[in-house]
Amino acid sequence: MNDEHLLISIAVLGGTGKEGKGLAYRWARAGYHVFIGSRDAEKAKAAANEVREMLGDGVSVNGLGNLEAAKEANIVVLSVPYSAHRSTLESVKEELKGKILVDVTVPLVPPKVSTVQMPAAGSAAQEAQEIVGEGVEVCAAFQNISHEHLLDNSNVECDVLITGTSKNARAEVVKLVEAAGLTGWDAGPIENSVVVEGLTSVLIGINKKYGSTHAGIKITGAKK
């Protein structure tokens, strides 16, 4: 394990869902302290137990309520359905001050989930910034990664685009992406999150049309 990772703790709010649990699995495997958060602390504990069983001894994964998980962590990741986006953020925003919030949320509005539908703020990430205030660095990332890629040890061909409120915050999230075994790209300011989030609906439509389950994106013509 990387000693640097051991100094950083990550809370995955909504970590009982497939995407959140996959991210928790990847970061715990990389050596981070991981807190899985949920509105139901017992569900969070069950999800944490599942991840520990998958990885074996020597990993740090614990389940807590969302508020407690956000309080304990240095970096908070929000992975909830858009319908729970605002209420979850409002319930934990006091514990986010001075931290980085990584918003994985996509503003999907059933039943037309393959049609791009953005909120009045411009994107879910920009809406999150409005809710939590200027004392929190907000980044958007992981919207275009299928959970099917995360809960195993195979290489993932899909890249991750990261937008956010500052270069420093985006650089920190790039490190998280790479620790998860993925390739991350700084995609610019948080205003660009409208494109990143919107791509998810496009990819859902491609999956439906072509019979796939995990279409993704790959950046070409540039070198890391």
pLDDT at residue 129 greater than cutoff 50: yes
Assign 224 a pLDDT band (cuts: 50, 70, 90): confident
Segment 68-79, tens digit of pLDDT: 999 999 999 999
- Look-up of token digits 């409002």: 90
As a whole number of angstroms, the distance between CA 187 and CA 122 comes to 16
Token pair of 180, please? 């998860």
Domain boundaries, the chain: 3-210
Given this model, what pLDDT does residue 1 score? 43
Give 13's strand partners. 37, 78
- Look-up of token digits 């494109």: 195
Given this model, what pLDDT does residue 223 score? 86
Give 64's strand partners. 37
Given this model, what pLDDT does residue 148 score? 76
- Closest to 70 in 3D by CA, of 85, 51, 91: 91
Q: Lowest-confidence range among 5-14, 39-48, 180-189, 209-218?
A: 5-14
151 vs 123, higher pLDDT: 123
Q: Report the SS3 class of residue 176.
A: helix
Q: How far is CA 131 from CA 14, 54, 75, 123, in A?
A: 18, 35, 17, 12
What proportion of the chain, given as a percentage, has pLDDT over 70? 97
* Domain 3-210 CATH assignment equals 3.40.50.720: yes
Contact in structure between 218 and 144 (CB atoms under 8 Å): no
pLDDT at residue 125 greater than cutoff 70: yes
Cα dihedral sign, 217-176-68-88:
negative
Contact in structure between 52 and 106 (CB atoms under 8 Å): no
Segment 186-220, tens digit of pLDDT: 999 999 999 999 999 999 999 999 998 889 999 99
Assign 7 a pLDDT band (cuts: 50, 70, 90): low
